Amino acid sequence: MRTKIKLVSQADLGKIITIKGWIRSVRNQKTFSFIVVNDGSNLAGLQAVFEANTPGYEEIIKSLDTGASVSITGTLVQSTGKEQSFELKAQEVTLLGTCDPETYPLQKKHHTFEFLRTIAHLRPRTNTIGAIARVRNALSFATHKFFQERGFLYLHTPIITGSDCEGAGQMFNVTAFNLEKLPHTPQKKIDYSQDFFGRQTYLTVSGQLEGETYACALSDIYTFGPTFRAENSNTARHLAEFWMIEPEMAFATLEDDMECAESYLKYCLKYVLDNCPEDMKFFENFISKGIIAKLEHVVNTPFQKLTYTEAIEILKKAPKKFEYPVEWGSDLQSEHERFLAEEHFKKPVTLINYPQKIKSFYMKLNPDGKTVAAMDVLMPSVGEIIGGSQREDKLELLEKRMDELKLPKEAYWWYLDLRRYGSVPHAGFGLGLERLVLFATGMENIRDVIPFPRYPKHAEF
């Protein structure tokens, strides 16, 4: 029976165990070799000591290259080395798969993250990408735990959709047409009635609209799935495919939404601090000094609540020259968001009541008639991590807004029905998982915290 390295413990001392994994390094001494094996279950892996007088030593040691896969059986003993508390006294080393040292791209040396992106299929074997994968897993698990403990129902919303949730038109088309031979209507438009779904369809930008329908029947739901945006944003914060978590609560206001968002973020970060100490120590030492204290600070500090109007005042008085001008009514740029969270308040900021004209059509109009009950959570170093709002639950107001924006009301008939039949106040938000992983790990580029990043001109693997 194979033991995962993470589970090897004090209790195994003196026992014979078998580990399996990939070789990280081999150091040959005169009478023995040190072999460090990693199976991804933890960061450190396990060191085996392979004595030269073990039968078969000469034969096998020749093929023990970095990256080769092995099975090692031996006795677990206390280590005399400083770096680890146990090591395996190897009795049997079996080579499972060789690894050509001439061509294996992951030799034991420093590689840039840019280079690692070009070998995204092998980069999970590095310390950093392995640690990110474990933290990402922990954050996903914590997400389910948090919402399940609060009685939310996990809802699967469709990936192929006919409606544009954000009304921003940054969607990828989904079609079964032969693109070389598109059918046309007499008016020379593409005839989507002949396409697979008999209409134009897209990859979803958000599961919110469908989520609202279930919230307006089952009270509290959350989605957790891939979302897609065809925006040509070549930044360290944007992906064309990312995973979004979207809770939606019936009988809820913006206040409830803010409370849920803050509790959720704190819960996830505390979960990582409690459950990934080894990986967090790695990020602290090698990726971002002070990251642990930064997470603890967020967990222990109430978020700063602020209106958009107040934020504009602060930004106008800022002792800093911004690239983009600050004007009431204009959208905040990442530099503004980061100034507020990172430099001015030095903690997460929940910004509310944005001008209606810079936000999506479904947000609830405030009594002032010009702002909406929107909420964005801004994090130090990452900027916007959450976007949410109370939804417009009045049919006339929602229809009026859709008309103003020239959105095709027919396409949203089912969404409008929620306001026709038993409309209730409801609210929700969306969190981009990758932005959360970025914050938690202190990594700088969003392309390194998702296994296979999709961004302009990149869809390899």
Q: Which residues bind ligand 4AD (CB under 6 A)?
A: 165-166, 206, 208, 229, 238-239, 242, 244, 246, 384-389, 428-432, 434-435
Q: Which stretch binds Mg ion (CB under 5 A): 17-25, 47-55, 382-390, 441-449?
A: 382-390
- In the complex, least distance from residue 411 CB atom to ligand 4AD, rounded to whole angstroms: 16
With contact defined as beta carbons under 8 Å apart, do 320 and 344 qualify?
Answer: no
| Lookup: tokens for 139 | 């954050």
Q: Closest distance between ligand 4AD and the C-beta of residue 206, in Å?
A: 4
Q: Nearest distance from residue 230's CB to ligand 4AD, in Å?
A: 10
Nearer to ligand 4AD, 72 or 332 (CB): 332
Q: Which is nearer to Mg ion, 81 or 329 (CB)?
A: 329
Q: Answer with the entry of ligand 4AD, Mg ion, none that 441 interacts with (C-beta below 5 to 8 A by kind).
A: none
Q: 362: buried, middle or exposed (CB in 10 Å: 19+, 13-18, 0-12)?
A: buried
Place of tokens 């206001």: 253
Cβ neighbourhood burial of 124 (10 Å; 0-12, 13-18, 19+): middle
Binding mask 322-361 for Mg ion (x = CB under 5 A): ----------------------------------------
Which residues fall within 8 angstroms of residue 55, CB to CB, at 6 or more apart?
Answer: none
Residue 348 vs 428, nearer CB to ligand 4AD: 428
Query: What would you measure as the largest C-alpha separation in the chain, in angstroms?
Result: 85
- Interface region with Mg ion, contact rule CB under 5 A, candidates 200-208, 279-287, 386-394, 400-408: 386-394
Distances (CA, A) of 225 to 217, 250, 395: 21, 21, 29
Smallest distance from Mg ion to CB 360, Å: 8
Smallest distance from ligand 4AD to CB 166, Å: 5
Q: Residue 187 Cβ, how far from ligand 4AD at the closest point, in Å?
A: 33
Of 165 and 215, which has the nearer Cβ to Mg ion? Answer: 165
Q: Is there binding between residue 387 and Mg ion (CB under 5 A)?
A: yes
Q: Where are the alpha helices (DSSP H) in 289-412?
A: 291-300, 308-317, 334-338, 395-404
Taking the alpha carbons of 161, 165, 166, 167 in that order, is the dihedral positive or negative? positive
Q: Which is nearer to ligand 4AD, 3 or 371 (CB)?
A: 371
The binder of 201, among Mg ion, ligand 4AD, none, by C-beta within 5 to 8 A per type, is: none
Residue 208: which of Mg ion, ligand 4AD, none does it interact with, CB under 5 to 8 A by kind?
A: ligand 4AD
Residues 114-153 that bind Mg ion (CB under 5 A): none
* Cβ at position 386, least distance to ligand 4AD in Å: 5
Complex with ligand 4AD: residue 93 or 379, whichever CB lies closer: 379
Residue 384: CB minimum distance to Mg ion, A: 6
In the bound state with ligand 4AD, the residue whose beta carbon lies nearer, of 80 and 234, is 234
Closest C-alpha to 220, from 432, 430, 431, 428: 428
Neighbours of 60 (CB within 10 A): 17
Compute the chain's Rg from CA coordinates. 27
Which residue(s) pair with 97 in the sheet?
A: 69
Dist CA 325 CA 312 (whole Å)? 11
Token couple for 235: 């930044």
DSSP letters of 249-284? EET--HHHHHHHHHHHHHHHHHHHHHH-HHHHHHHH
Nearer to ligand 4AD, 40 or 226 (CB): 226
Residues that bind Mg ion (CB under 5 A): 387
